[in-house]
Structure 1
């Protein structure tokens, strides 16, 4: 039974074809000419998500100092995006089916841009919390809507392209952390920094939104449920996704503070997120070939093992240089895990592809927004250095569940 299962898992979900055989849209009209523009537009929104998150994340130490927040207060504030994301993520399946993922991608991206301005302008814990609710709502809806766009485009291309989209998210995260770290070193205030970023992102939205994929006619779209409950092995895929994204989200929110506590300067501390997201970006851009070569199960196991080793090195060595090396190794390992999980979800037999992808992505992104605040509360009790052991445990869980999830 093992060998056939491996062949099934490793097989590409699409028959090989050239880009010229791009499929027709739901109305039967050829969209070959629009394929590059649509791919570029979707890629921009993945990059926007990474840019937004990292530009906010690298200014957390400055905002914490400005508002004189304790670690527990900061942890409580990081729960605010969870509130916004929870509501919109639960509604995302219904909204995408009711209005189409193209419109929801536009709306979510605009909400994120507005929230960045509000975060930078916040002068109290209350106003920052409200701004983070809006930010979480936009991120939650965008992550589901743009993955729906990407999955639809991948089915039309009839070959794997999902990993490259997530590579653009990581590139956006790397660019945002580098720019944010540089601006912090130059002394630019979080308000001016995030206002500048918001303006540039809005220009990109105005250019790219017209090329997103149009939904099928409204009469042909099913009425989406408010919550898509995973079924069968999709539950295991969702648990792995939660573990994987818990690591990603925690690195985004806490890597700078982790390095600061090891003695790194503000500018060098921002390099932690840049190194992690940069190596993830490279791995994801090359990830489609890697997944085809080793298969989904091996990719999940090897990637999770590299993440475990890298995070363990950062904890045990306890020096900024060693931590950066560990973050780089962890980024390489983490690079293809989430795209691989979405591809496996799309090939499952327990649910419809769109429903499975939505449920796995939802569990993952809820973990990204809910896990880091919990890490903050843990850090308050045992210090942030030892709290990072939770990330090692999450990587070990992903290794343990990889094979059962892929074969169940």
Structure 2
């Protein structure tokens, strides 16, 4: 019941998480098709995905100001822009134009992402209970559903463009659910605290590792199944779908765990579990074993990002919460900047198996970061 209650309390930002999730699930399952129609190598495709990362990082710096201007309609505007932006990447065949279209996607996605996470953090403070994992679980559910739908549309021979347009219609229909009144908090009288640099850096690093790992599996799992392991289109789409399903399970479970345990021990345990999953996926002899690896990775990595964002909301003064989450998200979402390039270069040089082993090493780097973060005082 705690999960249902958490979703009821945060149903408006949860709807925004669903919108973002279904679009990125659709994209992840269509990656082999989009990559083929661009005629891009692994390294080039990884470089082209920098477009979305550039847009994401840019939007993170603009989001706090946009949030102030748009107020209660900020999530609605972000979702509408995202639906419009996704009309283009699936029908582009020129690499440079694809990169520009993905920059527009990243800009809209980043704006919506910062605002919806800030709304969840505000609700956490208002109701004095954790809500972040449940909301991120809704992203994962929508991501998995989007990927599974694309598995069927790819088998039926449908190109990406009309499928993205269909998801766009769903997003527009959900806009009324995303209007949410905002309570802006001023600094306490006499507040003389320093800018919360270390909470942002350390929590941002935790989120960075989580999102780099997540982005790697989202963008390259279908290719790993189809190219390395010889799977078909539907089998390839099941790779990102498996990630989404298990991340949803992990985040719903994390919602329950977060009400009983502090963030740092959970993050350390989750990092170890997800690293094991990355190794299993890397060494998998068949698609089925790869699905197990992606599933274990998804269970572990699912709670790391939400825990990092929730933690920074607790470590800063209330009037700095939205800005701190935005800055933490800047660091975290820069993972979408680094991951495609590094994965493409590693894949070109050594193959996807070695690239996924590198993901395991990256995940283990969370442990010392979390230990440092544990020393920071909770406000």
TM-score norm. by structure 1 comes to 0.83
Give how far 1:221 is off: 9.6
Give how far 1:389 is off: 2.1
Give how far 1:344 is off: 1.4
Verify the 8 A CA contact 1:233 1:350 in the aligned structure 2.
no
Residue 178 of structure 2: which of 209, 226, 230 is its match? 209
Give secondary structure in 2 for the equivalent of 1:69.
Answer: coil
Pair 1:135–1:230, CA change in 2 (3 A)? farther
Unaligned runs of 5+ in 1: 1-15, 23-34, 223-228
Deviation beyond 6 Å, 4+ runs, structure 1: none
Residue of structure 2 equivalent to 1:163: 133
For 2:28 and 2:353, how far apart are their aligned partners in 1? 18
Residue of structure 2 equivalent to 1:366: 334
Residue of structure 1 equivalent to 2:201: 235
Give how far 1:67 is off: 2.5
Alignment map for 1:258-273 (pairs within 5 Å) = 258-260=224-226, 261-273=228-240
Residue of structure 2 equivalent to 1:313: 280
Give secondary structure in 2 for the equivalent of 1:268.
Answer: helix
Residue of structure 1 equivalent to 2:13: 42
Alignment map for 1:16-165 (pairs within 5 Å) = 36=8, 39-100=10-71, 102-165=72-135
Give how far 1:65 is off: 1.5
Residue of structure 2 equivalent to 1:402: 370
Verify the 8 A CA contact 1:149 1:213 in the aligned structure 2.
no
Corresponding position: 1:288 with 2:255 = yes
Residue of structure 1 equivalent to 2:309: 342
TM-score norm. by structure 2 comes to 0.89
Give the RMSD, CA atoms, in angstroms.
2.5
Residue of structure 2 equivalent to 1:379: 347
For 1:313 and 1:99, how far apart are their aligned partners in 2? 45
For 1:276 and 1:190, how far apart are their aligned partners in 2? 21
For 2:149 and 2:273, how far apart are their aligned partners in 1? 27
Verify the 8 A CA contact 1:231 1:350 in the aligned structure 2.
no
For 1:399 and 1:162, how far apart are their aligned partners in 2? 21
Give secondary structure in 2 for the equivalent of 1:253.
Answer: helix
For 1:279 and 1:345, how far apart are their aligned partners in 2? 25
Verify the 8 A CA contact 2:206 2:304 in the aligned structure 1.
no
For 1:399 and 1:269, how far apart are their aligned partners in 2? 31
Give how far 1:200 is off: 1.9
Residue of structure 2 equivalent to 1:182: 152
Residue of structure 2 equivalent to 1:248: 214
Alignment map for 1:216-231 (pairs within 5 Å) = 216=184, 231=197
Give secondary structure in 1 for the equivalent of 2:86.
Answer: helix
Give how far 1:96 is off: 2.0
Pair 1:60–1:317, CA change in 2 (3 A)? closer
For 1:344 and 1:209, how far apart are their aligned partners in 2? 24
Residue 191 of structure 1: which of 161, 164, 170 is its match? 161
For 2:108 and 2:367, how far apart are their aligned partners in 1? 31
For 1:380 and 1:341, how far apart are their aligned partners in 2? 32
Corresponding position: 1:323 with 2:293 = no
Residue of structure 2 equivalent to 1:355: 323
Unaligned runs of 5+ in 2: 189-194
